A and B are shown apart, each in its own frame.
Chain A
Amino acid sequence: MSFINYSAREINCKIVYYGPGLCGKTTNLQFIYNRTNPEVKGKMISLATETERTLFFDFLPLALGEIRGFKTRFHLYTVPGQVFYDASRKLILKGVDGVVFVADSQVERMEANLESLDNLRVNLAEQGYDLEKIPYVMQYNKRDVPNAAPLEELRKLLNPGGKIPDFEACATTGIGVFETLKATAKMILKDLRNMSR
């Protein structure tokens, strides 16, 4: 749910990075944080366990620029990927404007990807959102690992029919990270425009 502030001439939107545990959601945000100018970004917050697993969420505010005199700000959140943190994931999805699903390319994580995608669909539906209708982008992360599944196989399972934009990525080196973010932000802005017409 975006927040349009005429007084401050600001548009604020929320993007949530979703996906199974250890798929690279936090790494995506860390790369964005490390590669953006200080005047564009706010502080990155990570509510993590001692072993650096996301406990509640990571948060990174970004200002992308102006559209027709309105500053556009995107608040990026990650959810905790581990299965038992489902209650927290539901909370973070509240008011979401767009979703990035970060899939783990490793063959042995295919089931975890599907389980997480299904969990996303269910959790969104609980709040009245339809995954088919909201801005939503797929990222196949960890393309650099030797046991990565072929792209076609990932597509067949996670984006059948190629209905949504998808990107190959390696979040540790940054390949595909900004492409994913930009595609999601564009979809959100176009969606807001279409809703307001």
Chain B
Amino acid sequence: MMHSSLVMYDDDYRKLLVIIQRLAQDATAKGVFLVDTNGQMVAEAGEMQGIDATSLASLTAGNIAASSGLAKILGEEEFPTHFHQGQRDNLFITLAASRIILVVVFDERSSLGLVRLRVKKAGTQIAQVFEEIRKKAEREQSSGGSSPFSEITDDDIDNLFSE
């Protein structure tokens, strides 16, 4: 369904966090980020606390969306991995699941080969978690499960805008 929300519960979030923390460690990465293809930051790990993660997420999603458009023009299905080399830091970006982008930031302590290798394993695990999330969402939808929205009132919404 086009308009379904991405709903992340605590247990799913923790699973993802464990995977990306391990990836950050194994790949000797400075930071690992999971970003929704619509530009929302899902989870982050590593030593890059304080970075503007919201902007990083939005720009990563824009980058992936633009490359995906380019791929289609060239008759490719997708360009699933991207590598940006900087003077100090490098970025490795890959699609981990249909709507999730995995971003790894690394410097001279690591290498592209190592990052690629570690991302491969972590990517599979991340895809599995999102498959579970998708199934859970389907089950909830068919059973009319709970949502934080179902209980809110007009007053709750109006109060948000009262100065």
Contacts and interface: CB of A to CB of B under 8 A. Distances in A.
Interface residues of A, number: 48
Interface string B50-94: 001011001100100110110000000000000000000000000
A194 B19 CA distance: 35
A91 B160 contact: no
A57 interface: yes
A196 B149 CA distance: 6
Interface in A23-50: 42-43, 45, 47
Interface in A155-184: 182
A1 interface: yes
Q: How large is the interface on B (under 10, 10 to 19, 20 to 34, 35 or more residues)?
A: 35 or more
Interface of B: 2-10, 13-14, 36-40, 42, 52, 54-55, 58-59, 62, 65-66, 68-69, 147-152, 154, 156-158, 160-161
A68 B152 contact: yes
Dominant secondary structure at the A interface? mixed
A70 B24 CA distance: 29
Given A4-B5, A43-B55, A45-B55, A94 B65 contact: yes
Nearest to A195: B3
12 contacts: A1-B2, A1-B4, A3-B5, A7-B8, A7-B13, A11-B148, A42-B55, A45-B58, A61-B54, A68-B148, A75-B54, A196-B147
Given A3-B6, A87-B69, A127-B2, A196 B38 contact: no
